[in-house]
Structure 1
Amino acid sequence: MNEQENAPSQDYDVLVIGSGAAGLTLALHLAKRHRVALLSKQRLQDGSTWFAQGGIAAVLDELDSVDAHVADTLDAGAGLCHPDAVRFTVENSRNAIQWLIDEGVDFTREDSGEYHLTKEGGHSHRRIIHSADATGRAVHSTLIEQVRNTPNIDCFEHHIALDLIRQPDANTGRFRCAGCYVYNKTNEQVEVFQGRAVVLATGGASKAYLYTSNPDGASGDGIAMAWRAGCRVANMEFNQFHPTCLYHPKAKSMLITEALRGEGAQLKLPSGQRFMHRFDKREELAPRDIVARAIDHEMKRLGADCLYLDISHKDAQFVREHFPTVYKKCLEYGFDITKEPIPVVPAAHYTCGGVMVDEHGRTDLDQLYAIGETTFTGLHGANRLASNSLLECLVYGRSAALHIEQTIGKVTPPRPALAWDASRVTDSDEDVVISHNWDELRRFMWDFVGIVRTRKRLLRAQHRVKLLQQEIREFYANYRITSDLIELRNLAVVSELIIRSALDRRESRGLHYSLDYQGLRELAMDTILVPENFAGQQQFIEPT
C-alpha cells in the first residue's frame, strides 16, 4: 500500500497494543499522569491471559528463596536463560503479587488465612499463587475493571494493529516509532493512532500451529510488526507445547492445567500403565518439554490418538474444590475427572522467543517498547518454567512503564503520519484463498515444525512458507484488507522466523528437539535474526 496525504489521527502520550496482563499492567502504571490508548483486537478479555489456569510463580514462602526460584528457572531453560534477566524478574516477584492484591485480585487461601501455594513441574518449592484453577480470569477481570474505571485510559476494542509507523527523528538522527496503522473492524477502515511511546503487548504466536491451547488471536502480530519495522527477534525456534490439552473434537483449545500434576495426577497409557518414570526421575513433574516429548513418543509408538491424565485416585471433594473450572468443563464434555481419566494430547502453548528487549522493554526502534509473550527478555531460555509467564508480564509491564515515565518528557510528539492509501484495491470475491492458506500453513507447521523435528521437514516447511508468502503478498496488494488477512500475513512472517531459527540451531536443546542433531553443543547461544532494515544501525541524515 502507498500512503499519500497526512491522515487525521488519534493522538496520545502512550499507545498500548494489546489488552492482556502485560498491556493492562503498563497502562495502569502510566495512567495517573499520561493519556493512554489501549487497543484490543477483540474484546479486552479475549486474550490468552483470561484462559491461564495454573497461577503465578513468586517467592512468597519463608522456606523458599530467590536463589531457589532462579536456579529452577535456569535449569528449565537448558542453558539459554540470561541470569541477569532471571534474577531481575524473580527479585521483583513479591512486589508484583502485592500489586495485584492491592488492585483487588482474590487469590485462594488456606483455612488458616494464608495464601495457598501449589507446585508445578520444574519447581523445587510450592510457590505458585493462584485463584483456584482460573487465575488468569481472576487477574484479567480485576485489571480490566480497573482500566475501565481509569479516566486517562481510552479502550478501543475490535481494533487490530496493521503496521507500525516509522519516522526520522532530527533530534537523535535515528528512526523512531511514531504510531500505528489500525484496522477498525467495526467500520472496516484503517485509522491512524500516534503516541510519543508505542508498546507492543500482543502475546505469542501459537496459532501458527494446527493444535494449540491459545485463543484465536494468538497470531504473532507484534512480533511480525516489529520485524517489518526493523527490530531483531531471538529464539523463535522454542515453541512450548503444553503436554495436556483435552482431546475431544468439540473442546478446541481446552488446556488441562499443570497444577493437576502438581497435586498428584498421573499420566497413563491407554492400558492404564504409567510411563513417565522411563523418561525422567521427576516423572509427571518434569519440565514441560520433557513431558510433551514423552507423550508424543508414546502416542507415536502405540499409534494412539491420545493418552490419559488421571486424578481420580484423589479425594473427590479435594478435586472439585481445587479444580472447579477443569471439573466443570470436562463434565460438559462427558468426563467426570473424580471418577475417570482425562484424554489428553500436547498442543502449542507458548512462544519463548520474540522481539529482543532490555529490562525496560526497549526494542531496537526508538520509542517502541515490547512486553509479555511478544518479547525475548532472556527469562525463559530454551524452555519456560511453568507459571513464569504471567510474572514476566507484570514485572516487565511495570519496568517499561517506569522507563516511559522517566523519559517521555524529553520526547517530542511525532509528526502527522501519512494516510493509508486504499485507492487501488478492490473487494475480494476469493476469500477462500485466505482460509485455504491459513489451514495449509498451520498444518505444515504442525507436521514439519512440531515437537520433534528433522532438517528435511524444516526445509520442506521453509519452501512452502515462501510460496504462501508470495500468494499473501499478491492478495494483500490487490484486495481490501480484513482481519483474517492481517492475521494470516503476520502468521506467515512469524512461521518463517520460527523455521529459520530452527534450521540455524543444529543441536537438541530444550523445546527444540532434532532427530538429526540429538546432542548439545558445548556453547549455548541464542538464535538472533536481524532484518534487512535493522533499526539499530539505521541513521537518518537531515537534508541540508
Structure 2
Amino acid sequence: MSTNPAPRVLVVGSGIAGLTAALGAAGHGLDVTLLSKDALDETGTARAQGGIAAMTAALPAGQPRDSEELHVQDTLAAGAGTCDDDAVRVLVRDSAAAIDELVARGVALDRAAGPDSPWLEGLEGAHSVPRILHAGGDATGREIQRALLAAALAAEAAGRLTVLRHTMLVDLVLGPGGRAAGALVLAGPGDRLHELAADAVVLATGGAGQLYPHTTNPAVATGDGIAAALRAGAAVADLEFVQFHPTALAAPGCFLVSEAVRGEGAVLRDSTGRRYLEDVHPRAELAPRDVVARENVRRSLAQDGRPVLLDCTGLSPSGPGPHGGGTTAEFLARRFPTIDAALRAHGLDWSREPVPVTPAAHYLMGGVATDGLGRTTVPGLYAVGECAATGVHGANRLASNSLLEGAVFGARVADALQADALRTDAPGTGRAADDAPVRLVLSGRAEILPAAGRSGIAATRSRSTASFDGDAVPFDNDTDPVGGEAVPVDGDTERLDGSAVPAEGNTVPFDREQFQEAMWAGAGVLRDRSRLEALARRLAGFRPPAGLSRRAVEDRNLLTVGRAVTAAALHRTESRGAHFREDFPAPDPARARRTFWRLDSAPDEATVPALISAHTSIDMFDLPERIPAC
C-alpha cells in the first residue's frame, strides 16, 4: 500500500455541483476541503424551484414517455446552435444515474403515491414531454441541498471531508508551471487573508446574477470563481449568454415564480388582460425562456413600464397525483407551497388575482471553459456547475437542466480528480511541494514568492489547522506576507494589499447600484451596439474598489465579469438564444459557434478581455501564451 499522502483538493462552493464533486472525490479517497462563502445552504441550488430534468425511462419507477434522443434534441434546440453535442449527450446519458445517486443520498423526489409508484413528471418550457422531477412541489433545490449537505456533514463527522464555512475565495495560488496550487481566502475573525494549499482546485462558485439589479440569484452570486479564473489566466466562454427568467415577482427581492407554474397552465397577459404569447410562438407561454423574457420586456415598455401579469386564476385543480383536487387556491398551495407562501406574504392571492412579473437575471450559460471532465486551461484547476462553461447549455439553457448539470458533471469532476491523481501525464497532475515557489494572483497582480518564504504564509496544510481557530498563520492585511522580506510591488498598477492605484481613465469610484443599472440598460434583455459601447465606456470609467473587505473583493469580481460579458456581447453581432441584439435581430449561420476569452496581458483590470478563439471548441491545453486584445 502506498504511503504517499492523498492529493489535496479544494472545492469552492456548496451547491449541488460542489457538494457532488466533494462527496465523490472524498469517496475516492482524496483529501477534500469544501469551502462555503456564506452559510452552507446560501446557494443557487437551494433556491431552485422548478425541478431537475432527467430521462427517467431507465429508472425502476420511470415512465417510458421520453427517450435520450428526444431530451438531447430539446436541449440542442434550446441551445440555438452553440451547444457542445458531446457534452449534451453525456448530460442526458448520465441523467438516470445522477437521479439514482441523489435518491441514494437521501433526496425525496415526488412520486404519484408510495415509494415504488411512478415519478411525478412535470412539463416546462421547450420540453417536448413531461420529464421534470420535483421535490416538495416547488422545493426541489432546497430538498437536494438538504440531502447533500447532510451527506457532507456526515462525511465531515467521519473524518472523510473538511468543511469550512464563511470562507470567501479571493484569488487563486499558482505553482510551478502555472498550475493551481491553492487559494487565497478571507476567513475567521476579522476576515483575515489566508492561503490554503492544494494539489487541485475545483471552482463551483455559481453564477453572477448580482451583475444586474433584478436577479433571482442569492446575494453571494458575484462571479467570484469566474473572475478568479480569469485573473489566473484561464479561458472563459459563452459569457454573452445570460438567461433572464421571464417571471420574477415585480417587487423588491425579485422572488422567482417558477416556470412550472406555466407548465401547469398559467398564462401571461398585458395590462388590458390580453393574452399575447399565442401570437409570438407556437408554444405560447411554454416557449424558450429568451422568447418569453423578450416579449415580456417589450409589452412592459409598451405599457409605460408597468409589469405584465401572470394569470393562474384559471388553473384546474383536477387531475391525478397528490396535488389534484380541491379549489384552485388549495391546488396552488399544495403544488407550489414556497411560491404560495411568498406571494401571500406580499399580500397577493394568486388564486384570485394575476401576479405582476418581470424578467430577472437567472442563469449564466457561460463561465470558465472546461472539457467534458471539468478541466480548465489552467493545470490543476477544475470548474463545475453554473460557473463552468461545459457547452451543455449553448446560447440558452433548457429549463431544469442546470441541477442536472451540477449532478452529472460534479460526479465527472470527482472521477477526473481521481484519475488525474493516478496519472503523471494528465493535465494538472503532480503534487505541489510545500516548499515550491508559488505565484499569488491577487486581483490581477502576480508575485513570485521564494521557497524560503512559503512556510511563512502557509495557512493550512492539513485538516488539523483548517478551522481558522488561531492555529493557522494568516496573511497580515497591512504588512508583508512573507515573514520579514517585503515582496516588490509595482506602484503603477496595484498594491499587494489589493488597493488599486487608479489607472488612466478610471476616474469614478465604483458604485454597485450604478454598475448594476448600467449592466441592465446596456447588457440586459435587449441589446444593441450603441448601448453596449456606452456600457463599455461606463465600466472602463469605474475605478476598481480598493482593499480586502468582502464587499471590495465582490465588487472587483463583478467589474471583471461585467467587462467580460460586455466584450463578448459586443463581439457577437447577431441574435442567438438569450443574446438578443436589436441591431442584429436574426441569427447569423456563420456565427453558430462558441467564443473563448482570456484577460489580456496588461496588469490592470481596465483592459478589455481578449478573444482567444471563435470556434466550436478549443484545445483546452494548447492555448497561445499571449493573445492580443481585439
- Per the normalisation by structure 2, the TM-score is 0.78
Taking the TM superposition and a 5 Å limit, the aligned residue runs for 1:337-416 are 337-410=350-423, 411-416=430-435
- The 1:88–1:159 alpha-carbon spacing in structure 2 relative to 1, beyond 3 Å, is same
**CA–CA distance in 1 between the matches of 2:566 and 2:109?**
40
**CA–CA distance in 2 between the matches of 1:12 and 1:335?**
53
Match of residue 20, structure 1, among 15, 22, 25: 15
Specify the alignment match of 2:583 in structure 1: 516
Specify the alignment match of 1:530 in structure 2: 598
Specify the alignment match of 2:445 in structure 1: none
Please report the RMSD computed on the Cα atoms of aligned residues, expressed in angstroms: 2.0
What is the CA-CA distance between 1:538 and the residue it aligns to? 7.2
**CA–CA distance in 2 between the matches of 1:369 and 1:227?**
13
CA contact (8 A) 1:235 1:354 kept: yes
Specify the alignment match of 2:172 in structure 1: 164
Deviates more, 1:203-212 or 1:315-324: 315-324
CA contact (8 A) 1:175 1:538 kept: no
AA partner of residue 107 (structure 1): L
Specify the alignment match of 1:67 in structure 2: 69
**CA–CA distance in 2 between the matches of 1:488 and 1:421?**
22
Which ranges of 4 or more aligned residues in structure 1 deviate by more than 4 Å? 424-428, 433-436, 533-539
Is 1:116 matched up with 2:120?
A: yes
Specify the alignment match of 1:154 in structure 2: 162
Q: How many residues align?
A: 511
- The 1:286–1:413 alpha-carbon spacing in structure 2 relative to 1, beyond 3 Å, is same
What is the CA-CA distance between 1:487 and the residue it aligns to? 0.4
- The 1:281–1:537 alpha-carbon spacing in structure 2 relative to 1, beyond 3 Å, is closer
**CA–CA distance in 1 between the matches of 2:109 and 2:364?**
26
What is the CA-CA distance between 1:530 and the residue it aligns to? 2.8
Identity percentage of aligned residues: 39
State the Cα deviation string for residues 428-487 of structure 1 (Å, max 9, x = none). 9xxxx999611111110011111000101101111111121xx11xx42xxx41000000
AA partner of residue 47 (structure 2): F
CA contact (8 A) 2:123 2:263 kept: yes
Specify the alignment match of 1:5 in structure 2: none
SS class of match (2:175): strand
- Per the normalisation by structure 1, the TM-score is 0.91
What is the CA-CA distance between 1:102 and the residue it aligns to? 0.5
AA partner of residue 253 (structure 1): C
What is the CA-CA distance between 1:301 and the residue it aligns to? 1.1
AA partner of residue 49 (structure 1): T
**CA–CA distance in 2 between the matches of 1:261 and 1:19?**
30
AA partner of residue 103 (structure 1): R
CA contact (8 A) 1:158 1:186 kept: no
Is 1:452 matched up with 2:526?
A: yes
Is 1:258 matched up with 2:259?
A: yes
Specify the alignment match of 1:3 in structure 2: none
Taking the TM superposition and a 5 Å limit, the aligned residue runs for 1:86-165 are 86-111=88-113, 113-131=117-135, 132-150=137-155, 151-165=159-173
**CA–CA distance in 2 between the matches of 1:260 and 1:298?**
20
AA partner of residue 68 (structure 1): L
Gaps of 5+ in 1: 1-10, 169-173, 540-544
**CA–CA distance in 2 between the matches of 1:262 and 1:443?**
31
**CA–CA distance in 1 between the matches of 2:594 and 2:477?**
40
- Tell which has more relative contact order, 1 or 2 (C-alpha 8 A, sep 6+): 1
What is the CA-CA distance between 1:414 and the residue it aligns to? 3.9
SS class of match (1:212): coil
Match of residue 477, structure 2, among 403, 410, 422: 422
Taking the TM superposition and a 5 Å limit, the aligned residue runs for 1:126-525 are 126-131=130-135, 132-150=137-155, 151-168=159-176, 174-184=177-187, 186-249=189-252, 252-314=253-315, 315=317, 316=328, 317-410=330-423, 411-416=430-435, 417=438, 418=454, 419=457, 420=475, 422-423=477-478, 437-468=511-542, 471-472=543-544, 475-476=545-546, 480-523=547-590, 524-525=592-593
CA contact (8 A) 1:210 1:443 kept: yes
**CA–CA distance in 1 between the matches of 2:416 and 2:13?**
19
Is 1:52 matched up with 2:57?
A: no
**CA–CA distance in 2 between the matches of 1:130 and 1:274?**
28
